[in-house]
Structure 1
Amino acid sequence: MLVDGSEMPKYEVLVIGIGNILWADEGFGVRAVEAYHRRFADDPVVRVIDGGTLGAYLINEVMEAKRLLIFDCCDFKDQPGTLKVLRNEEIRLWASTKISAHQAGMNDVLVTASLSGYEPQAITVVGVQPLELEDYGGSLTGIVNEQIEPALQAAQEQMIAWGFAPRKRDAYEEVVPLGEATLERTPYEEGRPSENEACRFADVRFLK
């Protein structure tokens, strides 16, 4: 909330996934928040968004929430697939594990928001150590994909602790995608060219 109390945020919690789905495990945060959105029903006091690589453009979204729950791919200098939940002072660790421009951008958003008088009541980061970041157009690796479910469990536990227990969607409930439907995991991966059709690690002209 704003330090001077001049304007109350619209939402109790902003649940956000950040990352780049074009670079394999770098897309963990986006795929995790997508899975969260598909599992849990909409709540008028909770905002769920795909932050992707928007960086500084997320400033208004961040400042409209009292608490932040962030899914991200983090370099913990640990074994690939390691899942960690960071809170309070541990957020400094997340801020120092820049994997790509998207994370530096998110850190900048929080600093800018602070300078504007915004101070969240709480920040929690659910992060995973990546295995592969160079597979252009590739999917999450198996070991990171296996952490989607534990990440959702960790997020649910955090939401309950904050007093906003998410309700699971009914089986028949229609789910509106967070972004472009073609970028949702299933259509994106089913429509992706094979490695024979599209080189994923570099321009094939420069590999000879």
Structure 2
Amino acid sequence: MSPRVLVAGIGNVFLGDDGFGSEAARRLAAEPLPEGVTVVDYGIRGMHLAFDLLDGYDALVIVDALPHGGAPGDVTVLEVGEADLGDGEFDAHGMNPVSVLASLGTLGGRLPPRTHVVGCEPRDVDEGIGLSPEVATAVDTALSAIRVLISAKPVQQPSTAKGV
């Protein structure tokens, strides 16, 4: 049986580049996917993601805007471990991925599955719909990274890739 993988697009489409994860999920969901892969645009619905994770996925790929001081459009792939979770406060009406993952035990689940974050450095997260040109172009780079993560190939070490 194929491993069950959840690709979770995260972001607020009303805040410019914060909608990066939602756009990547929308585009990926339109492609043929390997057996066992589910793609969901969670937007800002953290509780929905938490409850879906209780279904026992083997791996999770979170796709989100990830401000880390790089150039707009930089795509970063990180592996998230239990030590990275801390005890973030869970907000049932918001989306803080670290808090969602840390809450799984409280909700009756097990530790999060093997988790990767595919993040993109935003340029603009002010009110407005649509991605900046740099971040829109970076969606293709992110999709390439996600395809590697969800394929049957071994997962590569976390790395950073420059968006075009």
Query: Into which bin does the TM-score normalised by the smaller protein fall?
Result: 0.7 to 0.9
How far is 1:160 from its partner? 1.9
Amino acid paired to 1:143: E
| C-alpha distance after superposition, 1:125-162 (max 9, x if no partner) | 100010011142x2100000011111110001111256
What's the offset of the Cα at 1:89?
4.6
Q: Where do 1:6-21 residues align within 5 Å?
A: 12-21=4-13
SS in 1 for 2:103: helix
Cα separation, 2, equivalents of 1:146 and 1:12: 29
Cα RMSD (Å) = 2.8
Does the CA contact (< 8 Å) of 2:34 and 2:150 recur in 1?
Answer: no
Cα distance in 2 for partners of 1:35, 1:42 equals: 15
Whole-angstrom distance in 2 between the partners of 1:102 and 1:82 = 25
Q: Which has the higher strand share?
A: 2
2:132 corresponding residue in structure 1: 141
Residues 1:24 and 1:149: Cα distance change in structure 2 (over 3 Å)? same
Structure-to-structure mapping, 1:146-157, within 5 angstroms? 146-157=137-148
Distance 2:95 2:123 in 1: 17
Alignment partner of 2:67 out of 72, 75, 86:
75
How much does 1:40 deviate?
Answer: 2.6
The DSSP-based 3-state class of the residue aligned with 1:147 is helix
Structure 2: tracts of 5 or more residues without a match: 155-164
Residue 51 of structure 1 corresponds to 42
SS at 2:125 equivalent: coil
Conservation of the 8 A alpha-carbon contact between 1:21 and 1:27: yes
- TM-score, normalised on structure 1? 0.62
Deviates more, 1:121-130 or 1:110-119: 110-119
What is the identity percentage for the equivalent residue pairs of Structure 1 and Structure 2?
28
Q: 1:73-121: per-residue Cα shift (whole Å, max 9, x none)?
A: 011122111110001459939xx9xxxx8442x2222111034341234
How far apart in 1 are the matches of 2:81 and 2:50?
Answer: 22
Higher helix share: 1
Q: How many pairs does the alignment contain?
A: 146
- 8 A contact 1:25–1:140 mirrored in 2: yes
CA distance in 1: counterparts of 2:14 and 2:118, whole angstroms = 20
Aligned partners of 1:128, 1:15: CA distance in 2, in Å? 15
Stretches of 4+ aligned residues off by more than 4 angstroms: none
Q: Which has the higher contact order (CA 8 A, sep 6+)?
A: 2
So what's the TM-score if we normalise by structure 2? 0.77
